Amino acid sequence: MTDATTESHRALRVTRTGGVLCALGFVLIGWPSLFAAALGLELVAAAFWCWARAAEDRAEQLPRWAWLRRPASALWLAAGLHAVVRDTGLGVQPAFQTLPGVVARVEALAVLWGGLELMAALPLARPFSDRAGPLGATGPWLPVMLPAAGFLVLWRHAALWTDLPDVRTAALVLLLVTACLAALRAFGRRPWTASLRWLAVGDCALGGALVALRAVPADAALLLWLGACGGHALLLAGELGGAATRRGPRPHRLWRVAAWTALASLSWPVLSTLGFGPPDVANPAFALAAAAAVALAAWVSVGRLVEAPERRTMVRREAAVPLIQIGAVATLAAGPVALAIAWWSGFEPSWTDSLAALTPAIAGGWAAGIGGRRSLAERPTLAGLAPRVAARGRRARRAARAAFDSIVAFERRLVAVLGRIAFALIAPARDLHTGDAQEYLLFLAGVAVLALVLPLLR
């Protein structure tokens, strides 16, 4: 067997191993147990490591995805604390000052950490969706799995963190900031594949906000998220498979409508609850932030999904019943079905609230539909506007990129400063230990004196 054949076999084995790990990981993340979720995230991290260690550019890929163990660690922490408190029977919903109260908060924060970091909602690894994953042709699609895993963690273990109002509010703030940043980034990036990855991040953040708001039942929230994020994930998959989703006028139109419908369905309960919900939940500032994110995401979803010209002289037989279009129909149906379930369970906002909640999505989609360069160029009366709109669009994209970059740079600087402070605090302790035998005796003397002094100080 030649070296090339051996290498290709090995690459196939690595791809399959990572795929199996990822699939198993997602099954476990969906399981109700925290230990299963932690193991699931560990397997997803292991899959990325498996792919990265075999990649051509492994020196870059390995450190790039090393952070994936952090969310898994956070989930292990939550699982461990849960096991300790649950098994000692110390109760539920305890006061903050008690041990179970503190543990419940730490547990909630750990679950939140795991979910939010995967959803790019923490400033530690926020820009991961900018880059492709560590696996050859499928690489650009892989990062979509991470916010999806984050959402599933938050959704599955919602009871642990949504019952604590302070934790829930903190989560809501982070998720809405992430939704805005993701929409900004999706708008600012020129490659459509990168924009789709960021749109998926935005969908997950809005989905997380929906879980935090508890506006609709859990199964409806899952279906709403599945429609929005799944639609963008399928679009990205189609994009990597020769832009199948937008080749031809009908598929193109179908996908535009489907993506917009899914996003509008997801945004409806979020915005109506944030804007017009109960007084303890409604927050105009949050509602405005969410509305801005939804409008921009709707604009990008619809406006950037341009029709690809069909260059093939003969369409392949298997393309006659394209599976990807079935995905579009599913995406189209998911949102309305989920809203019907929610309505059946008591989600009944007034007509005016609903209209107001749907306005950002409608505005974004409508502006993209009529304001796109192609649309303008197709209308003789507005054709003169096209160059000006294009120039403004370029400037707006540059501004969006600059805004996102400056925010991420600020966050990084902040994290670096905190890291340096922590290092400065630890440094004297490290300097204490030089490995010299004499210092061991000094340690002993110090501890002995401390042991004598501490009881006297009590």
Site residues (vs another protein, CB under 8 A): 3, 6-7, 10, 14, 35, 38-39, 42, 49, 53-54, 58-59, 62, 69, 73, 76-77, 79-81, 83-85, 87-88, 90, 99, 102-103, 106, 426, 429-430, 433, 435, 437-438, 440-441, 443-448, 451-452, 454-456, 458
CB of 72 to another protein, least distance (A): 8
Measured from the CB atom, the residue of 5 and 381 that comes closer to another protein is 5
User: Which one, 343 or 440, has the nearer CB to another protein?
Assistant: 440
Question: Would you say 125 or 332 has its CB closer to another protein?
Answer: 125
Shortest distance, position 74 Cβ to another protein, whole Å:
8
CB of 151 to another protein, least distance (A): 23
Please say which residue, 39 or 244, places its beta carbon nearer to another protein: 39
CB of residue 62 to another protein, shortest distance in Å: 5
For another protein, which is the closer residue by CB, 306 or 448?
Answer: 448
At its nearest, how many Å lie between another protein and the CB of residue 444? 6
Closest approach of another protein to the CB of residue 76, in Å: 6
Work out how close the CB of 32 gets to another protein at its nearest, in angstroms, rounded to a whole number: 17
Nearer to another protein, 85 or 258 (CB): 85
Between 49 and 276, whose beta carbon lies closer to another protein? 49
If the CB atoms of residues 329 and 426 are measured against another protein, the closer one turns out to be 426
3-state secondary structure the chain: CCHHHHHHHHHHHHHHHHHHHHHHHHHHHCCCCHHHHHHHHHHHHHHHHHHHHHCCCHHHHHHHCHHHHHHHHHHHHHHHHHHHHHHHCCCCCCCCCCHHHHHHHHHHHHHHHHHHHHCCCCCCCHHHHHCCCCCCCCHHHHHHHHHHHHHHHHHHCHHHHHCCHHHHHHHHHHHHHHHHHHHHHHHHCCCHHHHHHHHHHHHHHHHHHHHHHCCCCHHHHHHHHHHHHHHHHHHHHHHHCCCHHHECHHHHHHHHHHHHHHHHHHHHHHHHHHHHCCCCCCCHHHHHHHHHHHHHHHHHHHHCCCCECCCCCCCCHHHHCCHHHHHHHHHHHHHHHHHHHHHHCCCCCCHHHHHHHHHHHHHHHHHHHHHCHHHHHHCCCCHHHHHHHHHHHHHHHHHHHHHHHHHHHHHHHHHHHHHHHHHHHHHHHHHHCCCCHHHHHHHHHHHHHHHHHHHHHC
* Cβ at position 174, least distance to another protein in Å: 21
